[in-house]
Amino acid sequence: MLSIRDITKVYANHTALSGLSMEIEKGSIYGLLGPNGAGKTSLIRIINQITAPDSGSIFFEGEPLQPKHIGAIGYLPEERGLYKKMEVGEQVLYLAQLKGLSRKEALTRAKNWFLQLEIQDWWTKKVEDLSKGMQQKVQFIATVIHEPPFLILDEPFTGFDPINAEIIKQEILNLNRKGTTILFSTHRLENIEEFCTHLTLINQSKKILDGKTKDILNSYRSNTYKIDFIGNLDAIKNQIPHHFELKSFKTGAEYQEAEFKILDGGVNDLVSFLLPHIQIQGIRESIPSIQDIFIQKVSQS
């Protein structure tokens, strides 16, 4: 869908992007991650043709990115851009027509979206009379109403309570199931792990991690397991075979937790060793979260 090749952008003495390349597959939900100032916003502005790169190129569905592609992109910015004195319904119609819809088609789609998000009573309200979360729903409709094949979402859940965040999340997933490719920028890393198929992590203008989310998580597996148990682990500490490493030990109100790293063999071997001595309540593999990986990679870079 989008091929970003060796993009560089410099503002005065600040390098915002340095030789950045990404390949966003059609039909993917692609997470764009990075700490503040990493270059995410600069990249999004370049894709939207708000600014231009100093060097490098972008291809949209195989063609060099051009002004004609703007209508095929939906953009939900982190800083919202609704006209506060304008009525909600008329504003959505106006923005839809800017994206090429006729007023008749815009009216049909807007009414459907208002019903779907249960905001049909807001049609004649002014934006300034809505809460931040309510404004966010209106902005979301304005972003997707022209049914763009490529969608850029920058912190889409800002201002939402958990219930409305879940509603919008399901709408995003529905759009993706229907074929929309999504570039998703957020600091809420649990969202990346939950439904992004791919991700790129940038820091200080450069890409430091890139790939399928599942593959990245798997690459950080360390063959480490947490075991909840009842019993006396202290009594067998000196008997633990050399191919099992006891990394941590915690005592809770109802059970204890130990973390083992398996240096040789498998988890069944560990369980076989422990069962004669303790009662195992649960076992789970310790896989770093995207947040853990994010912190580690940014710190290293």
Mean pLDDT of 51-80: 91
Answer whether 2-218 and 223-285 agree in fold.
no
Domain ranges of the chain: 2-218, 223-285
Q: CA 65, 70, 74, 76: dihedral to nearest 10 degrees?
A: 90
Q: What's the pTM value of the predicted model, to 2 decimals?
A: 0.81
Integer Cα distance of 230 and 220 in angstroms: 29
Nearest to 236 by CA among 225, 226, 246, 227: 246
Integer Cα distance of 233 and 256 in angstroms: 9
Residue 164 contacts by C-beta under 8 Å, 6 or more apart in sequence? 133, 136, 137
List, in sequence order, every residue forming a beta bridge with 273; answer none if it has no partner: none
Note the pLDDT of residue 175: 94
Structural tokens at position 45: 């502005």
Note the pLDDT of residue 301: 72
Helix, strand, or coil here: 148? coil
More confident residue, 179 or 187: 179
Average confidence score pLDDT of the chain: 89
Q: Is the pLDDT of residue 93 over 90?
A: yes
More confident residue, 233 or 88: 88
User: Do residues 7 and 43 make contact, with C-beta atoms less than 8 angstroms apart?
Assistant: yes
* CATH class name, domain 223-285: alpha beta
* CATH code given to domain 2-218: 3.40.50.300
